Structure 1
Amino acid sequence: MAESLHDFFDDHAQWTGPIPEPPSGQPSRREKRKQRKAKNRKRMRIIITTIIVLACVIGGGYAVVRTLGNINTVEVQRTTAEDYEGPGDGSVSFTIESGQSSSEVAQNLVKEGIVKSVGAFTQALAASKKDVAIQPGTFDLKYHMSAASVVAILTDPTKASGYLVVTPGERMSKIIKQAAQISGIDSEEFQNIVDQGGQGILPEEAQGKFEGWIEPGSYNVKSKHSASEILQEMVHARIAKLDKLGVPAGTDRERILIIASIAEAEVNKAEYYGKVARVIENRLTQNMTLGMDSTVAYGLGIQTLDLTNAQLQDATNPYNTRVNAGLPPTPISMPGDNAIQAAMDPPAGDWIYFVTVNLQTGETKFTADKDQFEEYVAEYKAYEQQHANN
């Protein structure tokens, strides 16, 4: 049967006269039939393609449902992880090393008999707040504790002991004091190593001084047996970090640490470190004294706010950059990554003065103009007077 009534009449119609020629430019009836058949075939292909696509979508949806079903099954299995109940019994000291993964911690907890299963601990950790993290350190725990109770302790920094935390900007004197207190090793053992120039521990460019050569971070000093072992770990960590940051070796490395430590001490916002470093470089280029109160205070072993006018004029202090030209003899603290990177590549600028005009917000203003500098000083004094009255 013909595909349509048009095809039927086209196939069976009889002409009694000669077949007329189609008007010029118009397709013949045969050509029209071909065009209609082509359209029908195209329409059929579209229908078939649509059916295939729908089948794939439906099949994919089924696969997703199966996958979700499997996930739900896993969740059900997780809820059945074996766990102890209650606060536990007895007493056990448990140490977490810096950098240990949660799975390592979980396995060690099971080995010590503190939690019943790895699954119970990982489930309790996942159920805790998203912003918590397992802290390095030594913790006082009990045997047979519920996983949730263990997680609550291991994620609380106040519960950790045995770890020395060095923060950017800290001085060596404070680090020694804390290391001795936490490790139980006599502070004189640390001081003797410092006084002897850190032989076998410090690199040559440190010139026998530890300041600047301790890497900020957490250290398990409780597990160490000597001051030498503790100091060596912290210095090696510093050298590794400097290598990673691409800090030039040799005397350039010490110079960068000095500038970075001053920037760290002078301002309390990382966004200003680079500008302070540029001020230092500009002043050195122009043969100006640095005029940094932070270096003067370091040389006296006090804080900047405790300086007197007489101390600021004391040229016998080798760290007094108000009266002595050039950089101070050593770094004045343990600078962090941001300050070190800023000292390596300070931004371009002609600044030679800066003033922190607001101690609460840390807002600091930079200029190359002496008069504008005096305006900034006046702004700071007004801030200081306002807060002194409060």
Structure 2
Amino acid sequence: MDLDHLLGAEDDEGPRRGSRSSRAGRSRSRRRQRRQRRKGYAAFLLAMIIIVGVVGAGGYYGYTWIRGVTTVKDYTGQGSGEVVVTIKEGQSAGDVAQTLVDQGVVASERAFINAIGAAGKSASLQPGEYKLRKGMAAAQAVPLLDPELRLKTTLTLREGLRLSQVYEQLSTATGRSVKEFQAAAKDAKGLGLPSYARGRLEGFAFPATYEVSPRTSPEELLGAMVERFDRAADDAGLVAGARRVGLTPLQVITVASIVQAESGKYEDMPKVARVIYNRLNRDPQMKLQMDSTVMYGLGEYGIAATHEQLKSKSPYNTYARLGLPPGPIGNPGDHAIEAALNPAEGPWLYFVTVDPKKKITKFTDSEAEFFKLAEEFNRSQDGG
């Protein structure tokens, strides 16, 4: 009985214990499910936040990229400093845009192309040098490329200048040193000197008006002068004309340089040339006795050589030597070359510029008359 009682007791309590255990298990299961749902929801929220962040960042960077592609890089304002830009023959607006970017004038090629297109000036770009500024808005740069604003200096070289004087004037106009021009003058082939010049530029740097700038090289300038001489020589028929007067082209230019130096007026030039030819062709030949050649040989200036200067041993002293000097004594112009090729007809052997201020020159074939003219010159110099 006791055992049965005990066993029964166990049987009686067994179901009650099992019932409580089942309820507890179900409770724990529900709690686990709730925790899992909460975890799943949190994970979902986290995933959504990440997705939204990625999409947002992608959108931002995408927008930034698109804006960078569609927005043209450009400076603002008028810039600062100074830049000299060269537009070369045949360059397109795109070529010019690249040059401007390379020199720091505009921020991008597209900015300039857009600006010049908007201004309707794409076809108006002209070769030359222009002054702009660094860091300019493209729209500000376009007006400064107007052909009327090209940098240029007009330099007129008068007839009869010696080469040394030409160098000095070119140096002043360009800022280049005289030595640079002297060095450039040695390259006869590069300058295009005619063969009869014998490698010397004196006499062939033609007097005319030239456009120069600080960026123009000595070689370019001197070459332009030789080219201008070639045109003048062709126009005058120099080579054929030299044969006609019995001289070489170099000798004709030498005569022309003396005519240029000795003449007060254009109308006197053919007569001065005739005096030179009459002396050269006289039998026996007379010395030219030109003060201008003496001064050139001494590297000095003046219209009348002194007795001391006349003692010069220079090959240009035509008081001491027969014939023409070894080369031109300056750079003659059209009129002097024309006179050397077509001297006036006349018997004159002498001439004297009796009044240098009024440029009055008198001619004679008489030595006695010459001395009278010389006295007239002296009186004008003394103020008498």
TM-score (norm 2): 0.58
Matched, 1:304 2:302: yes
Indicate the residue corresponding to 1:20 in structure 2. none
Give the counterpart letter for 1:200 in structure 2.
G
The answer as to whether partners of 1:138 and 1:163 remain within 8 angstroms in 2 is: no
The answer as to whether partners of 2:176 and 2:214 remain within 8 angstroms in 1 is: no
- In structure 2, the CA distance between the partners of 1:258 and 1:188, relative to structure 1 (3 Å rule), is same
Give the counterpart letter for 1:247 in structure 2.
L
Which residue of the other structure, out of 359, 365, 369, is the alignment partner of 1:362?
Answer: 359
The answer as to whether partners of 1:221 and 1:230 remain within 8 angstroms in 2 is: yes
> Hey, what's the Cα distance between the residues in 2 that align with 1:238 and 1:290?
26
Offset of residue 384 of structure 1: 1.5
Indicate the residue corresponding to 2:190 in structure 1. 200
Percent of aligned pairs with the same amino acid: 38
Indicate the residue corresponding to 2:265 in structure 1. 269
Aligned residue pair count: 256
Indicate the residue corresponding to 2:332 in structure 1. 335
Which residue of the other structure, out of 181, 191, 195, is the alignment partner of 2:172?
Answer: 181
- Listed as ranges, the matches of 1:335-354 within 5 Å are 335-354=332-351
Offset of residue 166 of structure 1: 1.2
The answer as to whether partners of 2:292 and 2:303 remain within 8 angstroms in 1 is: no
Matched, 1:322 2:319: yes
> Hey, what's the Cα distance between the residues in 1 that align with 2:378 and 2:270?
25
Matched, 1:219 2:216: no
Give the counterpart letter for 1:310 in structure 2.
E
Offset of residue 198 of structure 1: 2.4
- Listed as ranges, the matches of 1:70-81 within 5 Å are none
- In structure 2, the CA distance between the partners of 1:228 and 1:375, relative to structure 1 (3 Å rule), is same
Indicate the residue corresponding to 2:201 in structure 1. 210
Indicate the residue corresponding to 1:284 in structure 2. 280
- In structure 2, the CA distance between the partners of 1:306 and 1:378, relative to structure 1 (3 Å rule), is closer
- In structure 2, the CA distance between the partners of 1:339 and 1:329, relative to structure 1 (3 Å rule), is same
Cα deviation digits, residues 101-152 of structure 1 (max 9, x gap): xxxxxxxxxxx99xx99xxxxxxxxxxxxxxxxxxx99999x99xxxxx9xx
The answer as to whether partners of 1:224 and 1:230 remain within 8 angstroms in 2 is: no
The answer as to whether partners of 1:353 and 1:368 remain within 8 angstroms in 2 is: yes
The answer as to whether partners of 1:162 and 1:222 remain within 8 angstroms in 2 is: yes
Give the counterpart letter for 1:293 in structure 2.
D
The answer as to whether partners of 1:138 and 1:162 remain within 8 angstroms in 2 is: no
> Hey, what's the Cα distance between the residues in 2 that align with 1:248 and 1:174?
27
- In structure 2, the CA distance between the partners of 1:341 and 1:138, relative to structure 1 (3 Å rule), is farther
The answer as to whether partners of 1:355 and 1:376 remain within 8 angstroms in 2 is: yes
Give the counterpart letter for 2:290 in structure 1.
M
Q: What value does the CA root-mean-square deviation take over the aligned residues?
A: 3.8
The answer as to whether partners of 1:354 and 1:364 remain within 8 angstroms in 2 is: yes
> Hey, what's the Cα distance between the residues in 1 that align with 2:233 and 2:85?
32
Give the counterpart letter for 1:178 in structure 2.
Q
Offset of residue 306 of structure 1: 7.3
> Hey, what's the Cα distance between the residues in 2 that align with 1:216 and 1:226?
18
- In structure 2, the CA distance between the partners of 1:237 and 1:190, relative to structure 1 (3 Å rule), is same
The answer as to whether partners of 2:264 and 2:361 remain within 8 angstroms in 1 is: no
Cα deviation digits, residues 187-207 of structure 1 (max 9, x gap): 22211233x362332111001
Give the counterpart letter for 2:173 in structure 1.
I
> Hey, what's the Cα distance between the residues in 1 that align with 2:353 and 2:130?
41
> Hey, what's the Cα distance between the residues in 2 that align with 1:360 and 1:178?
25
The answer as to whether partners of 2:175 and 2:214 remain within 8 angstroms in 1 is: no
Unpaired runs of 5+ residues, structure 1, are: 1-89, 96-111, 118-136, 145-149, 155-159
- In structure 2, the CA distance between the partners of 1:191 and 1:248, relative to structure 1 (3 Å rule), is same
Which residue of the other structure, out of 313, 316, 331, is the alignment partner of 2:311?
Answer: 313
Matched, 1:162 2:153: yes
Indicate the residue corresponding to 1:42 in structure 2. none
TM-score (norm 1): 0.57
